[in-house]
Structure 1
Amino acid sequence: MEVPSTKDFHWKTLAPLPSGRVYCSLVEAGGQVFAIGGCDDNGVPMNCFEVYSPEANQWNSLLPMPTARAGVAVATLGKRIMVIGGVGMNQTPLKIVEMYNIDDGKWKKRNSLREASMGISVTVKDYRVYAAGGMGLDLRPHNYMQHYDMLKDIWVSLATMPTPRYAATSFLRGTTIYVLGGRQSKYAINAFEVFDTETRSWTKFPSIPSKRAFSSFVPTENNLFSLGGLRQGRLYRQPKFMKTVDVFDIEQGGWMKMDRSSFLKKRRADFVAGYLKGRVIVAGGLGNQPTVLESTEAFHPGKNKWESLPPMPTPRCTCSSIVVKNCLLAVGGVNQGLSDAVEALCVSDS
């Protein structure tokens, strides 16, 4: 497959957020990007709710969420945006579920989760929201898999996940939900499990070859990429930023043997990642340097190596991100303090 050259990528500086923030959740609906909640520079959860219009290049404030929160799980169901759990004002997990109707501009309370939870990973299939894992008030990771039935406004418990965890990454492929990584208390785990939405059963897949916190997972047509991250310190081991790249072949059902030449150019964790026109992208984050990173890289599948792209205009880590219309948006995050920057790495048709 022909992939764009490094010359086809450029950064655009977009209208900034109304205020700097971190841990806000982004979702796309009807060609617009919605930014939901987050933490302000005092670490206090916010109830802000804004929409970005690419045509006008501006953010507009919408009716705030009834409940201030950060790190929420978000799903779109047609013209509705569903906001699930997250961290509330007293820094504890929430069980509150709220739904915003884009047409009438109003919020509505929905049936709560069975338990307060943060770090839930959600996927949507056929107007059903599937919610995996999470962490409760007792700080224990959950093994729940539940789905939300929109017509009945109820949460239905499904078969429990083999490995309890929070902050996992989920992808939907056909009738299959892939759940990768996540954490138990402070530590990253490398569990990889798959839920079949038709048989409603779990299958354990080969574990991610190396455990890393603050890494990123990116799906492509045939593969799942596990990128970078931080190897956590243990008793006799220093923490270490990684440039490791692990690739899972979905068809073959196994992790490929990766050459060091296909590792990232720069060690990094807590960065932005996405997939644009056949190329996996990483940008920004934290590395061995004393400051946040600005460097951006794109993987060339033909050459099996990473190539440098133009740097991020505002170097940051802990950004929220989303891919919309051949652009990877990096929103908010941390520079020296909290950032209100919104920048898009776009690929043009050469």
Structure 2
Amino acid sequence: MGGFYGGLRLSTAERYDCETDQWSLIAPMNKKRTFASAAVLNDKIYVAGGDDGNNCINYLNSVEVYDPDTNRWTFVAPMLFEREDFSCVAFHGCLYALGGCNETSSDLSTEKYDPAEDKWTEIPGMVIPSYCSKVEVIDDKILHAVSYHLLTELVRSSKNTPEDKFLHICLCKSQKSHRNSFDFGLCLIYVQQILSRTIFGRTNMF
């Protein structure tokens, strides 16, 4: 969904059919987007933020949702902050937007979207603000891998924690990777209760 082609921003989107091993075009998004983030919530695809500028960066806070049953994209409430190079994740019926940057800041707060109310709200920020980070839901927590090999998690509110908050939990083993390599090459993989990190094809256990 979105991206670059020949230096131009795209609004096109494609779908992969694993049974036929083929890609096909679906309806294009309403906005051209690069460096956006997407997540699946309630069997629909949400794409948020990014930028749509061709000759200059134009940060976006708009959000649209794709319904595979109707093959249509529809705008929903925009995020509170314009942002790109961030991560979205679905968690407990809401959509979370973490990190990123825009023209004025690379220290953006965290916000979550409630589809029932079509509303974004700001929540307590991460321990270490970041961009180009990756997130995954594991053991009913949002695991957030950020720059400089740091790993944090979002702890849900409970009797012991009155509000959602992020905690610093550990450091990755390797301290040798260049920061940019870590930022742009990181993937979180969760398979059979094993968490690993892959950097340009190399996988190391935490």
Q: How does 1:231-250 map to 2 (within 5 A)?
A: 246-248=204-206
Q: What is residue 151 of structure 2 aligned with on the other side?
A: 192
Q: What is residue 115 of structure 1 aligned with on the other side?
A: 81
Q: How does 1:253-268 map to 2 (within 5 A)?
A: none
The structure-2 alpha-carbon separation of the partners of 1:79 and 1:224, relative to structure 1 and needing over 3 Å to count, comes to: closer
Q: Is the 8 A contact 1:181 1:208 kept in 2?
A: no
Q: 2:29 aligns with which of 65, 72, 96?
A: 65
1:141 aligned partner, one-letter code: S
Q: 2:126 aligns with which of 138, 146, 161?
A: 161
C-alpha RMSD of the superposition: 2.1
- What's the offset of the Cα at 1:158? 1.0
The structure-2 alpha-carbon separation of the partners of 1:104 and 1:225, relative to structure 1 and needing over 3 Å to count, comes to: same
Could you tell me how far apart the structure 1 residues matched to 2:190 and 2:23 are?
A: 29
Could you tell me how far apart the structure 1 residues matched to 2:17 and 2:194 are?
A: 32
Q: Is the 8 A contact 1:85 1:95 kept in 2?
A: yes
2:14 aligned partner, one-letter code: E
Q: What is residue 125 of structure 1 aligned with on the other side?
A: 91
- What's the offset of the Cα at 1:91? 2.8
Question: RCO greater where, 1 or 2, for CA within 8 Å and sep 6 or more?
Answer: 1
Q: Is the 8 A contact 1:73 1:84 kept in 2?
A: yes
Residue 221, structure 1, aligned to residue 180, structure 2: no
Aligned residues: 192
Q: What is residue 99 of structure 1 aligned with on the other side?
A: 65
Q: What is residue 146 of structure 1 aligned with on the other side?
A: 111
2:21 aligned partner, one-letter code: N
The structure-2 alpha-carbon separation of the partners of 1:228 and 1:101, relative to structure 1 and needing over 3 Å to count, comes to: closer
Could you tell me how far apart the structure 2 residues matched to 1:102 and 1:208 are?
A: 38
Q: What is residue 140 of structure 2 aligned with on the other side?
A: 175
Q: Is the 8 A contact 1:162 1:193 kept in 2?
A: yes
- The superposition leaves residues 129-160 of structure 1 with CA deviations (integer Å, 9 ceiling, x where unpaired) of 1111111122x323422111001011111111
1:148 aligned partner, one-letter code: Y
- The superposition leaves residues 257-291 of structure 1 with CA deviations (integer Å, 9 ceiling, x where unpaired) of xxxxxxxxxxxxxxxxxxxxxxxxxxxxxxxxxxx
Could you tell me how far apart the structure 2 residues matched to 1:127 and 1:100 are?
A: 17
Q: How does 1:33-48 map to 2 (within 5 A)?
A: 36-41=1-6, 43-48=7-12
Q: Is the 8 A contact 1:79 1:103 kept in 2?
A: no
Provide the secondary structure at the position in 2 that maps to 1:100: strand
Could you tell me how far apart the structure 2 residues matched to 1:227 and 1:97 are?
A: 29
TM-score by length of 1: 0.51
- The superposition leaves residues 8-57 of structure 1 with CA deviations (integer Å, 9 ceiling, x where unpaired) of xxxxxxxxxxxxxxxxxxxxxxxxxxxx111002x221010122222333
Q: Is the 8 A contact 1:87 1:94 kept in 2?
A: yes
Q: Is the 8 A contact 1:141 1:166 kept in 2?
A: yes
Higher Cα Rg: structure 1 or 2? 1
Question: Where in structure 1 are there 5+ consecutive unaligned residues?
Answer: 1-35, 183-188, 230-241, 249-350
Q: Is the 8 A contact 1:143 1:161 kept in 2?
A: no
Q: Is the 8 A contact 1:119 1:135 kept in 2?
A: yes
Higher strand share: 2
1:177 aligned partner, one-letter code: I
TM-score by length of 2: 0.83
